[in-house]
Amino acid sequence: MAARTPARPVGTATRGTTSPNRLRRMDRWLAAVHGPALRRSLLPPLAVDLGYGAAPWTAVELLARLRTVRAGTGVVGVEIDPARVAAARPYEREGLSFVRGGFEVPLPAGRRPVLIRAANVLRQYEESEVTAVWSRLCARLAPDGLLVEGTCDEIGRRHVWVALGAEGPRTVTFAARLASLTAPSDLAERLPKALIHRNVPGEPVHAFLRDFDRAWAAAAPYASLGARQRWLRAVRALAQDWPVTDGPRRWRQGEVTVSWHALAPDNL
């Protein structure tokens, strides 16, 4: 029996701010890291762009980027504002559709997404609401599915996101256009809702960013070789004390991923 769809979508509308290529760093990571799960899917996999905003660019781009790793992948853009859904409908094509909805993630009966991307959605919510939203979204995932929730700046230069599976949070990824950084702690203003208020002394994420800045400062001699070489050196030093889960291939992209448990607040 199909689950009943709530009479009104769950959640509140975001500001709707969006622009082409804003989520390119997250998409690039998804294609590389979650690509194997997309390829393992027996049915054509389905991804959800939750809260895509006032224009459909991020959903259009997500479809193109995921199809580079698995042909036949479909994307559903979900928005709570009916005017935004109506404005996106002309962009529908094979494999791309737009529906009205919220955290209930309305999909056809029997379909469960292998990926839900929720970028710049939870910033307006209270920290106390985050775990319930995460749990609700993870419950909609297919087996081996992934929820990615995070925040970026308006043009996608700085981005931090949490990756979650059915068991809960797994990792936190920091990604940046390296030439724009004065220090890794510049990314603090883009921490997701679960962490942004925890960047204070005594909290793990504050200690992580402090140590990252110290490693960045110690790597200053490598700046003459470019920001990428300085970042690589800093991340190598950071990985001696923090559970970094990726390697140089991702670091060269201006990323570093850390186990969630190392940064998690006590109440999450």
Give the CATH number of the domain where residue 69 resides.
Answer: 3.40.50.150
Note whether residue 64 is domain-resident. Answer: yes
Domain contains 119:
yes
For 25-35, how does the pLDDT look when each residue is reduced to its tens digit (9 = 90+)?
A: 999 999 999 99
- Give 13-59 pLDDT, tens digit per residue: 888 788 899 999 999 999 999 999 999 998 899 999 999 999 999 99
> What is the tally of structural domains in the chain?
1
The predicted-structure confidence for 154-166, as pLDDT tens digits, reads as follows 999 999 999 999 9
Is 55 inside any structural domain? yes
**251 within a domain of the structure (yes/no):** yes
Tell me the whole-structure pTM to 2 decimals. 0.94
Return the pLDDT at 205.
Answer: 98
- At 3 the pLDDT is 41
- What confidence category does residue 268 fall into, taking pLDDT thresholds of 50, 70 and 90? low
Q: Which domain holds residue 90?
A: 24-177+244-260
Q: Sign of the C-alpha dihedral, residues 203, 204, 209, 210?
A: positive
Mean pLDDT confidence for 170-192: 97
User: Looking at residues 131-145, what average pLDDT do you find?
Assistant: 96
Instruction: Give a yes or no: residue 239 inside a domain.
Output: no
DSSP string, the chain: -PPPPPSS-SS--------TTTTHHHHHHHHHHSHHHHHH-SSPPEEEEET--SSSHHHHHHHHHHTTTSTT-EEEEEES-HHHHHHHGGG-BTTEEEEE--TT----TT---SEEEEES-GGGS-GGGHHHHHHHHHTTSPTT-EEEEEEE-TTSSEEEEEEEETTEEEEEEEEE-GGG-SSGGGGGGG--HHHHTT-STTSHHHHHHHHHHHHHHHTGGGGGG-HHHHHHHHHHHHTTTS-B---HHHHTTTEEEEEHHHH--TT-
Residue 210 maps to a domain: no
State the Cα–Cα distance between residues 63 and 52, nearest whole angstrom. 13
Would 184 be classed as within a structural domain? no
Whether residue 167 is contained in a domain is answered as yes
